[in-house]
């Protein structure tokens, strides 16, 4: 339910709060999660050796419930106390409606651990569906509002491949949104502009080119091709094979053309670098370097 239209509950989890020790039997886990056994075992050992470093966060339940409190954040610590045979656990008690309970859980998890990208994206989407604006989500999660706007647009369009590249850190969110909005010719133009303005470097350009090719051939979502383009007949298999042969022939032809262009460039530069006047001009203009692969090729030709 959107939060607009009702009074906002001001909750500041990071502020100093009174810690209460509450019996475990009075607390319940509303939406329990299955945990990795090894990770949970390490948590139990850590608490047994060092004690509880951070209280769990709970909220009072509605009247008539068997338990007096529900866990907002700290299920693992709560279950570790149960495994250790403890009778009570330190808690921070807050009063919050359903939307604010979700928000508190998200904020505490952001501060407490390195969350997975999938969890973060899911949380951003849920907050948007609950009526929070991109600016409000940015304020609550300490993320840039442009990043939030871009991610929400990519989520709405099902751009799983682009989102994964953004979250891995090698695809700028601005470039990802341009790719999502543009057709093939516009994508090419956007990549040229990004390269010329320095947004993309050489290696990034190659990786993005591969990503765009996979997105075009296999779809925006992972595994999408298997559902929409299954080759169930010999004719489809033959068509796919012939298309791949044509693609490889074109790739070989392009490679030959590029090799010829490179040879011309290397020959021309080799002649220019043998000219003392040209070398003096380069030093005057403070042009002291060139791409290493090209320099190695020229050096090989000259030696």
* CA 137 vs CA 80, 92, 105, 224, 228: distances in Å: 32, 24, 14, 30, 35
pLDDT in tens, 75-119: 889 999 999 999 999 998 887 776 676 766 666 655 555 445 566
Nearest to 147 by CA among 184, 173, 126: 173
Q: Which two tokens stand for residue 294?
A: 């090209």
Rg of the Cα trace of the chain?
29
pLDDT for position 88 = 93
pLDDT for position 80 = 92
pLDDT for position 6 = 38
Q: What is the 3-state secondary structure (H, E, C) of the chain?
A: CCCCCCCCCCCCCCCCCCEEEEEHHHEECCCCCCCCHHHHHHHHHHHHHHCCCCCEEEEECCCCCCCCEEEEECHHHHHHHHHCCCCEEEEEECCCCHHHHHHHHHHHHHHHCCCCHHHHHHHHHHHHHCCCCHHHHHHHHCCCHHHHHHHHHHHHCCCHHHHHHHHHCCCCHHHHHHHHHCCHHHHHHHHHHHHHCCCCCHHHHHHHHHHHHHHHHHCCCCCHHHHHCCCCCHHHHHHHHHHHHHHHHHHHHHHHHHHHHHHHHHHHHHHHHCCHHHHHHHHHCCCCCCCHHHHHHHHHHHC
pLDDT in tens, 267-299: 888 888 888 888 888 888 888 788 787 788 887
Write out residues in the chain with pLDDT < 50, as ranges. 1-16, 114-115, 226-231, 302-303
pLDDT for position 15 = 46
Dihedrals φ, ψ of 191, to 5°?
-65, -40
Q: At what angle do helices 98-112 and 134-141 cross, to 10 degrees?
A: 50
pLDDT for position 4 = 41
């Amino acid at each position: 339910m959107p939060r607009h239209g009702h009074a906002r509950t001001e909750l500041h989890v990071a502020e100093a709060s009174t810690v209460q020790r509450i019996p475990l039997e009075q607390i319940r886990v509303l939406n329990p999660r299955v945990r990795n056994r090894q990770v949970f075992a390490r948590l139990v050992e850590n608490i047994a050796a060092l004690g509880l470093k951070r209280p769990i966060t709970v909220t009072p339940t509605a009247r008539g419930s068997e338990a007096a409190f529900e866990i907002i954040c700290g299920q693992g610590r709560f279950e570790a106390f149960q495994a250790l045979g403890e009778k009570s656990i330190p808690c921070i008690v807050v009063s919050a409606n359903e939307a604010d309970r979700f928000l508190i859980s998200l904020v505490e998890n952001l501060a407490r651990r390195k969350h997975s990208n999938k969890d973060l994206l899911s949380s951003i989407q849920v907050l948007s569906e609950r009526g929070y604006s991109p600016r409000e989500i940015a304020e609550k999660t300490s993320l840039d509002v442009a990043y939030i706007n871009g991610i929400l647009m990519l989520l709405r369009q099902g751009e799983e491949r682009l989102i994964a590249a953004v979250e891995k850190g090698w695809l700028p969110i601005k470039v990802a949104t341009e790719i999502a909005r543009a057709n093939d010719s516009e994508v090419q133009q956007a990549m040229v502009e990004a390269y010329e303005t320095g947004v993309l470097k050489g290696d990034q350009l190659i990786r993005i080119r591969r990503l765009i090719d996979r997105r075009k051939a296999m779809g925006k979502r992972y595994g999408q091709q298997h559902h929409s383009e299954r080759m169930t007949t010999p004719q489809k298999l033959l068509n796919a094979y012939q298309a791949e042969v044509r693609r490889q022939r074109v790739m070989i032809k392009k490679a030959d053309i590029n090799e010829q262009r490179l040879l011309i460039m290397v020959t021309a530069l080799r002649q220019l670098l043998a000219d003392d006047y040209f070398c003096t001009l380069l030093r005057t203009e403070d042009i002291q370097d060139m791409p290493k692969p090209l320099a190695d090729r020229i050096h090989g030709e000259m030696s």
